[in-house]
Amino acid sequence: MVRYYCPYCNPKYQFQKQSSKGTLICGLCGEDLVKKPFIRLNQIIALVAAASLLLPLIYTFIFLIKNQINPPNKNYQANKTLMIIIKKTIS
Say whether both 8 and 32 belong to one domain.
yes
Split into its structural domains, the chain has a count of 2
Q: Are 41 and 8 in contact (CB under 8 A)?
A: no
Q: Is 53 domain-assigned?
A: yes
Please give the pLDDT value at position 1.
Answer: 41
Q: Are residues 31 and 43 in the same domain?
A: no
Instruction: Specify whether the CB–CB gap between 73 and 67 falls below 8 A.
Output: no
Residue 83 domain-assigned?
A: no
20 plus 45 within the same structural domain = no
Supply the DSSP string of 10-24, one letter for each residue.
-GGG--EEE-TTS-E
Strand partners, 4: 35
**Residue 89 lies inside a defined structural domain of this protein:** no
Are residues 26 and 6 in contact, defined by beta-carbon separation less than 8 angstroms? yes
Residue type, 64: L
What's the confidence (pLDDT) of residue 67? 84
User: CA nearest 4: which of 38, 46, 40, 34?
Assistant: 34
- Domain range for residue 28? 3-36
Tens of pLDDT along the chain (91 residues)?
458 888 888 877 777 778 778 788 888 888 888 888 888 899 999 999 999 999 999 999 998 998 888 877 666 665 666 666 777 777 6
pLDDT (0 to 100) of residue 53: 95
Which pLDDT does position 82 carry in this prediction?
Answer: 65
Q: Residue 31: inside a domain, yes or no? A: yes
